[in-house]
Structure 1
């Protein structure tokens, strides 16, 4: 009997092993099939309904497509088809953000975010915008949408992208709807918001006034220092106008309501992959008199939140025969979901963009009629609001109706938290007993950005470039220019409000006309420069002009640490400048802030001997934030502790310093005032001074580094702390480890910080993880545009496990590039359905 049991037991075990092997093989085969079925067809032939003529698409070794067509219609349609092939999940997700329809995909968890987005009303504005665009632009948007939909006709569910296979487990009934032109326009509103959220600074100032005096709040938003660069330093018109000062009682009274907006603002920031502190970019253009070729070189690296795949899609759009009816021969970087090329070159010019950070958002305090909540006061009279009922569809739940109220200034944001619309009785008399907070924002008016992109793509010279820039209204960007004739230039476009009074830093009364916008700065009065004497133009979100410019662009410029580094490296190059020199500048990690703070720290006597070896390492450091630099690790960890020890005792947690450019400027001012009250830790009985806080922060730094790496400072490593993980914006943040592993890539060691030229930002109030990065790098050689180089941060494909999903990451990490124009490896023909 024992032998029989042994036989059957052994046989059963063998059968179980065989079964397990077969099951594993089947699961593996199914998984491979599921993953691979969404991969795009990159060669052969595909027939499309609506195509006018044959289109050729050539992809290089990185999967970057160059599209060749006979008409503008076919170029736009083919671009829509290719974008859908590679990135449709990303496109679908972004259009749901733009329309405030995330709950349709992800359920009730996104309802609060949708309520806020519907209140903002991006989709409502986009509908108006579509009607006002030129017939040619409307036609291109429709052709692009037709291309997207031609792909969707033959692809459903996991055949579109792996994300839809995973989504089936939580929302099995979801089916993506056809693409519409309005979806491309709402995408533009999302980008305008991501690049222009100055209302967050307005809210922060107001909230801080609850617990801090005005002078102390203002010290956290210091004036731009004289030793940092301005883009157009000699651009002066007349004396600046007198500005409005806030009424402290008024802004303090509304602060509790503004504080409640932090939750939806944070949720949207997480969706977009960044915060307003992380928005930056570098671009510069150098004239031929400084370059080795005698022709201009233009460089650009926009900084955006880390995401997988990249927000950018590299592409070329080429008319087979360039004519007035088909005028395109352009290559560069596009946004999936939008036709055209946003950063790039054609056969005559090249251009790049960086964010201005213009103050185009103002918060208005509206008096509400106690007898009618849908009326507000305007110059002593009650006026009816506009009220729109927005129906929000929620996956696996009942629809929710959101009543959106708007005043003459814009939507009432405080309706997202309606329970806080009344003030306590102790409120000052000049504050209404019932009030609401409305937002005026330039992007909530119809824009012509889509027309601008079309005109940039086909511009042949400076005059046509500027004509295109007149329509580049939101988001306002620094536009740098170069052409094959040797010219360089700069143009600031955008809808920049003219205020009757005030500078946009604090909420203002909305019940009279004292704080109204009077229109926008006329384009011809916006700053521009053509062939400056210096032979170069540098933009890094620093001020375009100084305080003598007659109008307020913003009071919250990015402090120009990156701009200063770039300028210094350009000026210090004693020989003519090459593409290789520009690559080194883009990869530079020098920390200018450390050059100021380190000498102060090193001059402080420490009684603790075991700190000496770390101080010696710091003394020998060259201020470069390279991955393997122990000195970089010491300083960046010290910076985190210095901020915490200086500010955490007095600031609410939501506004703990992130360590970016503004906080660098704040501390640069404070170190010159060793006895300033900010240095005193309110949690202790003693009164601390600057050197006390420096000592405390450095001691904490060494303890942290020793606990992490061991006692030997020479083994400490910045890159092991400063890691980057490329996360899918949706399922890659699910919290479910196996699903995140499908879509995310990393962690990888990286260098720099937010204010080095190679700007890999981390947040001192969170962790050392990189949150915002150079989302692409590109260098255009106007002597021979075929010599231009570029790199995306991840890869062309949005399909997990596709070879082009992450194949650019290794090059991007090393600040290496590919040629912008390479030999093709795959050829796909798109043919009209009727001619097949």
Structure 2
């Protein structure tokens, strides 16, 4: 692509693609750079930006028809646009020299660039042509709206419906066994707090009963994240200075959620990394002094509450008595020309999602009380040491994250950030009662009380959504739904296996697909088989697709057999999909707790053998899975195929470092008894991009994405990028040292 040279109200700026995955913006001022970044975002991602804006505002039906109406109704009930307007007003009225005032000015420049690109756009994206519409200009509110949307979707509030439903069908012993978490240190973390005798506290039992009662009133019958960040200190590297690796995991979509950018200004801004189109800045990346990566911390930052409502009087019963509800008349325009009208309700502690027979289900999250916060991460892009890094995170109020860090001074660390409710007891993963004083929030966990680790004695930090006692013990409760320690244990194993690391060894760690759980559990499981198995020589490397598929099916059938006397099929399937550590818990139940699940302990042999036979039968009908990159336009079928990129699955599951996964498990697939191969459900979740940063004088940064910077919708345009991704090929550039020349190199 040729260099686009622009004049903005804040100075000159150029926009160019250095390669198919990196957009470089260079300008005379920071604001000019953000103008150029907004220009490039619309130039390459106009469809994605408009789609996200419509999702957040509840305006999809206008272009997609009534099939999107339910999504629009849900989004209008959330009221994200009102939160965006509050955040915008707060920043607009702030002192221009404050971080809020600067943020508003940077967003102004970004949006001005977006609208300049929209004005210059001669040919609309193919999606707009297919749907026969032209996007309207962007507003400053839209940037805040997209930030609120990204904040909201990075959560697991639906898990509370599932957890309440499941817990109500289990004894306390069964519940603890099925939904426990194993810490990185190997100890069980109970799903709900227990007293000294191992029993639930009275108020936790009360919360469970209240949640089940609320579901009964509302007629509700039923209801993943995963990323890695690694920083290795100089004592373990060839250069004597740190290395950092980050690979956020997200849904595989076309175009991808992120866009790789390099931002350089004459005022000293230098930042390169992932940009989420919609607001200026860099989310994950590096500058001349430091590098950082973000990982979901699995925090319980949202709660579902139920309570009595009186819509005629527009009020809800809370712990403070009856409180007024704010009524909002909604009108959703549909593509047909008709409109759908309804009324949404909310108050400071929740938005009404559904109601039945005088009871309502409310969703509460911190932005309802404080939608303001840092959404551009400008001060993070300019951090230059551990102290300024931590200070830059204090204003981030949105999605709770664990941020990994490394710098040229030799510091490494982890720091949690974001607003997380402070509760009297950790009962947030159940549906709560608005009128119960024990269920109410007690403010938010102060930043200085959030988990932090700085220059640990082992010389490295690694976070992969696991519960680590060294990080979380004796801290405020943040969650009860952690990932198992598989990825973190494997990362530690690989780090300690090599005495001196470089970018090549870090790349091998980042791409590793060995399932450590499979390797550890196979000796126990294989000991019950009476005949040789192909798994006998398998070391857990999931690139061996047939062995990996067989093992997965074996565990799935074991799960079904162990739980079938207590839970119905739907609950079993939801458990496998919702609970990250399900395999670890099923193995523990097999070894120690079968009697709690209506089996004799000596039934283990028969259960293992029967599950293995069923898995062998299932594998005979499974074709090689594929990884799919799905587009938001899925109808008609020929269009869906035209817009869906794919490649053969090459290994990796939710417990491997390269954690590709399916939305659901193998048992939800059709498995016939004939010889025709059954197409496995595609893998649609995994790493969105990977970066590697060398903090030595060399300053090299390697990066790769699985979708190009341009939002090309067609599968054949996506193919070259997917081929590079399959091969693990990274682009490389050199980051200039703080006092050196810019030695930028390109692949």
Q: What is the TM-score normalised by the length of structure 2?
A: 0.88
| Residue of structure 1 equivalent to 2:130 | 166
| Residue of structure 1 equivalent to 2:195 | none
Distance 1:102 1:455, change over 3 A: same
How far is 1:701 from its partner?
Answer: 1.7
Distance 1:338 1:408, change over 3 A: closer
| Residue of structure 1 equivalent to 2:489 | 564
CA deviations on 1:20-56 (whole Å, 9 max, x unpaired) are: xxxxxxxxxxxxxxxxxxxxxx3265656x4443322
Is 1:640 matched up with 2:556? yes
CA deviations on 1:220-277 (whole Å, 9 max, x unpaired) are: 21143464499xxxxxxxxxx98941324322222246674968xxxxxxxxxxxxxx
Distance 1:602 1:825, change over 3 A: closer
Q: Distance in 2 between matches of 1:724 and 1:330?
A: 31
Is 1:138 matched up with 2:104? yes
Larger radius of gyration: 1
CA deviations on 1:439-473 (whole Å, 9 max, x unpaired) are: 22113343454356111111122111111110122
Is 1:195 matched up with 2:154? yes
Q: Distance in 2 between matches of 1:100 and 1:220?
A: 37
Q: Distance in 1 between matches of 2:6 and 2:243?
A: 41
How far is 1:487 from its partner?
Answer: 1.2
SS at match of 1:413: strand
Q: Which runs of 5+ in 1 are unaligned?
A: 1-41, 169-173, 231-240, 264-277, 423-433, 607-611, 681-685, 709-719, 827-836
How far is 1:591 from its partner?
Answer: 1.2
| Residue of structure 2 equivalent to 1:711 | none
Q: Distance in 2 between matches of 1:642 and 1:752?
A: 21
Distance 1:588 1:437, change over 3 A: same
Is 1:205 matched up with 2:163? yes
Distance 1:576 1:229, change over 3 A: farther
Q: Distance in 2 between matches of 1:113 and 1:537?
A: 40
| Residue of structure 2 equivalent to 1:599 | 523
| Residue of structure 1 equivalent to 2:611 | 697
Q: Distance in 2 between matches of 1:117 and 1:462?
A: 39
SS at match of 1:661: coil
| Residue of structure 1 equivalent to 2:691 | 778
8 Å contact kept, 1:490–1:529: yes
Is 1:332 matched up with 2:235? no
SS at match of 2:68: helix
8 Å contact kept, 2:229–2:247: yes
Q: Distance in 2 between matches of 1:700 and 1:146?
A: 60
How far is 1:544 from its partner?
Answer: 5.1
Of residues 461-470 and 449-458 in structure 1, the stretch that sits farther from structure 2 once superposed is 449-458
- Superposed, 1:219-230 pairs within 5 Å as 219-225=177-183, 227-228=185-186
Ranked by relative contact order (alpha carbons within 8 Å, sequence separation 6 or more), the top structure is 1
Is 1:359 matched up with 2:359? no
Distance 1:616 1:489, change over 3 A: same
| Residue of structure 1 equivalent to 2:630 | 727
| Residue of structure 2 equivalent to 1:186 | 145
Distance 1:696 1:372, change over 3 A: same
Q: Distance in 2 between matches of 1:544 and 1:600?
A: 26
CA deviations on 1:83-102 (whole Å, 9 max, x unpaired) are: 11111101111111111221
SS at match of 2:87: helix
How far is 1:202 from its partner?
Answer: 1.5
8 Å contact kept, 2:21–2:259: no
Is 1:651 matched up with 2:553? no
Is 1:176 matched up with 2:135? yes
SS at match of 1:503: coil
The Cα RMSD (Å) is 2.8
Q: Which runs of 5+ in 2 are unaligned?
A: 92-99, 189-199, 669-679, 735-742
- Superposed, 1:85-164 pairs within 5 Å as 85-133=43-91, 134-155=100-121, 159-164=123-128
| Residue of structure 2 equivalent to 1:829 | none
Distance 1:550 1:819, change over 3 A: closer
Aligned length: 703
Is 1:769 matched up with 2:733? no
Distance 1:473 1:446, change over 3 A: same
| Residue of structure 1 equivalent to 2:255 | 309
Distance 1:825 1:777, change over 3 A: closer
Distance 1:590 1:676, change over 3 A: farther
Q: Distance in 1 between matches of 2:710 and 2:187?
A: 39
